[in-house]
Structure 1
Amino acid sequence: MEFREVVRRRRMVRRYADAPVDPAVVDRMLAHAQRAPNAGFTQGWAFLLLDTPEDLALFWTSTGADPGTRNAWLDGMRTAPVVIVPLACKDAYLERYAQADKGWTDRRDDRWSVPYWYVDTGMASLLILQTAVDEGLGACFFGIPGSYVGAFRDAFGIPADHHPVGAITVGHRLEDTGSAGSPARRERRDDVVHRGRW
């Protein structure tokens, strides 16, 4: 698929067909994610792959999705056969930039104008989303509710220095018109590019 078509077709998919995803495709998604730009070539990210019924059920319950609760968004999202959780590691960046070739001698975090550990992990996440489209699949990036991050960490043994930036469902697309407020029913803004001066 042409890159411009991948970009054009990328959207958040919230309901999936009852069909498995080829593990080789998932491997490509994760390989592409690791090619994302990252400050100082730190690679301060990790990806938790959940693709068994047991792990998927544990993910949804640990992140607050009560299996007995009926909710159109959750009902659709829980049909995904794959969930990938991108995690950012701030400590990796602080350590990398305290090395001799970076010129800082300590791990202070007040030098960072923005938290690149989140920026870089977000870019890696976008490569997963784009690879899904290129492979003819659908995907959706969404946040893990803050009040459930601890339960999610405990459920999957996430190290304390890794922080989930969200989660990505992946599967075969079904027709999904989205909710009334979804981007599928709104126009994309055209007032966000400013040339030369604001």
Structure 2
Amino acid sequence: MEFAEVVRRRRMVRNYDPDRPVPADVRDRILRHALRAPSAGFSQGWAFLVLESAEDRARFWAATAPDDSTPDAPSRWLARMSTAPLLVVPLSHRDAYLDRYAEPDKGWTDRDEARWPVPYWHIDTGFAALLMLLTAVDEELGACFFGIPPERIDAFRAAFGVPEPYQPIGALTIGYRAPDPRSPSLRRGHRPFDDVVHFGRW
């Protein structure tokens, strides 16, 4: 698929065919492309938790579901999202960046987080997530990036033994698309080019 077509077709998919697993070679391609994301100082401060078995996926949804969902009465959103046969949780690792920039070629020996204008560990892990979203489109799959509720992070960590230094920046559902109602948010349309692009000055 041409890159422009991949970008044009990218959208958040919230309903999947539960009977069509993502082939292992496709899964690995999605993950390998994530490793090509840019990272400050080539720190590569990320990790990816891959959940494929029915048991692992059920444990994820039980740990992270919003408070208005229960196993017997999942929210409409969760009932569709949980059909995805593949979940990937991108995790950022701040200390990898602080350690990297304390090395001799960078020289910030104090490891002071205040030196960073924004948390590049989250940004770079987000870049990796975007590469996974684009690769899914290129593989004729659907995918959606969504947040884990802050109050559920501890339950998520406990469910999967995620070490404290790693922070989930969200999660991705990936699979073959099933009929999916168009999001009401799309009625907003894309913001006009001239509203968001400024040449030379604002």
Q: Taking structure 1 as the reference length, what is the TM-score of the superposition?
A: 0.96
1:99-114 matches, cutoff 5 A: 99-114=103-118
Tell me how far apart the structure 2 counterparts of residues 178 and 140 of structure 1 sit (CA, whole Å): 13
SS state at 1:58 partner: helix
Deviations 1:18-60 (A, max 9, x none): 3111011110011000000000000000000000000000000
Residue number in structure 1 paired with 2:76: 72
Question: For structure 1, which runs of at least 5 residues remain unmatched after alignment?
Answer: none
Residue number in structure 1 paired with 2:130: 126
Query: In the alignment, residue 9 of structure 2 is paired with which amino acid?
Result: R
Question: For structure 2, which runs of at least 5 residues remain unmatched after alignment?
Answer: none
Residue number in structure 2 paired with 1:137: 141
Cα offset for 1:175? 2.7
Please tell me the root mean square deviation across aligned C-alpha atoms, in Å: 1.0
Tell me how far apart the structure 2 counterparts of residues 23 and 59 of structure 1 sit (CA, whole Å): 20
Q: Where does structure 1 differ by over 4 angstroms across 4 or more consecutive aligned residues?
A: none
Cα offset for 1:114? 0.7
Tell me how far apart the structure 1 counterparts of residues 57 and 11 of structure 2 sit (CA, whole Å): 22
Tell me how far apart the structure 1 counterparts of residues 96 and 56 of structure 2 sit (CA, whole Å): 27
1:4-153 matches, cutoff 5 A: 4-18=4-18, 19-64=20-65, 65-153=69-157
Q: Taking structure 2 as the reference length, what is the TM-score of the superposition?
A: 0.94
State how many pairs are aligned. 196
Does the CA-based 8 Å contact 1:60-1:66 persist in structure 2? no
